[in-house]
Structure 1
C-alpha cells in the first residue's frame, strides 16, 4: 500500500485488511468540526461530546450507497439533553447540542465532564431516511451511562449482528493563530464470506443455572480477535494528529497483514435549511400557535439550531404561503 503524507482533513477513507476479513473507514474532521463548535460557542466539555458524535455519524452515514440521510440523535437526562447530527449523502454534515450550562459546569467541576456522564441515561436513535417515497429504518440503543463508542458496539451487536470496533477522539489544539478543534474516528468490521465465522460471544441472559459458565468469546474467529486487538491499540492522539495521515495510521496498524486504502470521500459542514423548509415547519403548528409566535414588532423570527441562520417572516406572508400550498 502507498502511504502519501497528505494529512488530509474532512475526509472519510475506506479500507480493507483482506487477510483478516476486515472492512472499515477512518474519518478526520478539521475545519468542518471547528466551524460547528465555534459557531455555537460550546463549552469545552460539550464541544468534545459534539466532536465524538459527529465523527461517529460520519463513519456510519458514509456507508450509505444511496441518496438519503443518516441521523444520530440522543434524548437523555444528563446535562447534555439532546444531540442531533445529520449526514446527508454524499458529503454534508451538520450538528447541534442542547444542554444545561449550569449542570455542565457542575459536572466538570466535580470531575464528571466525560461524554458518558454528560449524556447520562435515555436513548440513542440511528435513523436512515431514503426520502418520502421510502420507509425509514431506525435502530434504538438505550443509553445507560456508557460512551458513544460503547453504544455503537451495542447497536451493531444487537441490531446488525456484525462484529464491530469503533474508536473516537476529539482534541482542541492551540497554535500561534489560536485554537482549533479536531475530531477523528475509525470503524472496523469483521465481514468474512462465511456468516458462521461472524459468531460473537453470547450475551449473558441473566437467568443461567447455578454453576453455569458464561461464554467468554471462545467461539470468536481468530482473525476478528486479532483485528479487534489491533484497533484497540490506537491512541487518541493518533486519530486527531494533523501530522499523521489516515493512510499512515492504517499502515501503522495493519502493515504486517497488508492493508488497502481506497479513494477518500470528502465531507463538509453544511446546513440544508431554507426559507421554504422553515415555512413548511411552521405550517405544522396550529393557527393559534402561530399567532403566539408573533413578536411585538409584528414579525415571526426563527433561528436554525444547526447553523444559527435567522429567518424573519411576516404573518401575512406566511399565511399566504400556507394558503397557496394548501397546508395548515
Structure 2
C-alpha cells in the first residue's frame, strides 16, 4: 500500500519537528521526531568529538520527544551527572518548542587511543544518575525524577523513568547519524541528522497496563523474579517499534510520516499537527548581569580582566562583556 500524506490532510513536518500520533487499534499514543539544521547548529557550535556529539544528539532527541508533551508553558530539563568520559549532559526544553544543550567531557579521553574513542553511549556516560525536571513556573512546585545510570543507554533510561514514575509502559528508539555529501569541485561536507520515536500504552482498562517489577539486582538464591504476561496489543506495538533501524531514523528521505505509516497503517495510525523545534537559548545580557550582581565585590574583582568582565554562555557560546565599574 503506497503512502500518500495528502490522504491524511497533512503536510510533511520536515526536519526539526515532532509529530504526535495515536494508534487506536493498539491503544497506544506517541510522538516521532526528525532533527537536522537545529541539531547541527547546537553540535557545531562547540566542535564536540564525534562520540560526544552523537551522545548529546541522542539526549536532544529524547528531550524533544518528552518536552513537547507539556500541556503548559514551562521548562523540561534532562541532566546527567556521572563518572564517564562525558560526565555531564544538559538539555533544556522551553515550551512550546525551544531547546538548548551542552555537554561537558574529559578532553584527554577523546585523544587518539583514549578510552572515549569508539566507546558506546552507555560507556561514555558511565555510572551516576540522570534527572528529569519539570518546572511549571513561579508559584508552582517543581517535579524531578531520577534514574540511575549503571551502564544503560538513554533509551533504557526513558523506559525505566516511565516504569517507575508514571507506571506507563513505554518504548523508545533514538538514532543519530552523520551525512556526507560532495558537490562537484568542493570538499565533502558533513552534517548531523537524528530522529526518534516514543510510544506509550494507554488502554481504557488500567489493569491492562500491568508490568513486571524492575529487576532488583542480586536476589537471594531460589528467589523467583516477578514476571507477567504482557498485553497482546502492547507486545505488538513494542515489536513494531523494535523493527525501526537507525538508518530509518536518520535518513532525511524517510519522513516521520512515512515511518509511522510503515509501522502502523494496518492498525489505523492517526497523525496530528507537527510541533516545530528551535535552537534557542534563554540567556540575555540582563540575566547575566543579574547573576554577576549576586557575587560579592571581591569575587567580581577577581573576574576583571583589562577592566572588563567577560562571560560566555556555555549553551550558545554568546560572549558578553561588561565594564567592571558598571557591574
| Structure 1 stretches of at least 4 aligned residues deviating more than 6 Å after TM superposition | none
Q: Tell me the CA shift for residue 107 of structure 1.
A: 1.8
Gaps of at least 5 residues in structure 2 are 184-188
Say whether residues 1:262 and 2:272 are aligned partners.
yes
Deviations, residues 199-230 of structure 1 (Å, cap 9, x unaligned): 01123446867544323332x21111111111
For residue 171 of structure 1, what is the aligned residue in structure 2?
177
Choose the corresponding residue for 2:115, options 93, 96, 107.
Answer: 107
- Aligned residue for 1:182, secondary structure, equals strand
1:46 and 1:208 map into 2 onto residues whose CA distance is: 35
For residue 288 of structure 1, what is the aligned residue in structure 2?
298
Q: Retained in 1: the 8 A contact 2:13–2:19?
A: no
Q: Retained in 2: the 8 A contact 1:104–1:118?
A: no
Q: Retained in 2: the 8 A contact 1:7–1:242?
A: no
Q: Retained in 1: the 8 A contact 2:81–2:128?
A: yes
- Aligned residue for 1:224, secondary structure, equals helix
Q: Tell me the CA shift for residue 311 of structure 1.
A: 0.2
Q: Return the TM-score normalized by structure 2.
A: 0.92
For residue 234 of structure 1, what is the aligned residue in structure 2?
244
Q: Retained in 2: the 8 A contact 1:7–1:243?
A: no
For residue 84 of structure 2, what is the aligned residue in structure 1?
78
Q: Tell me the CA shift for residue 162 of structure 1.
A: 0.5
For residue 213 of structure 1, what is the aligned residue in structure 2?
224
- Aligned residue for 1:312, secondary structure, equals strand
Gaps of at least 5 residues in structure 1 are 319-328
1:32-47 superposed matches below 5 A = 32-47=38-53
Aligned-residue Cα RMSD (Å) equals 1.7
Choose the corresponding residue for 1:191, options 199, 202, 218.
Answer: 202
State how many pairs are aligned. 314
1:129 and 1:47 map into 2 onto residues whose CA distance is: 26
Q: Retained in 2: the 8 A contact 1:116–1:146?
A: yes
Say whether residues 1:277 and 2:287 are aligned partners.
yes
Q: Retained in 2: the 8 A contact 1:23–1:189?
A: yes
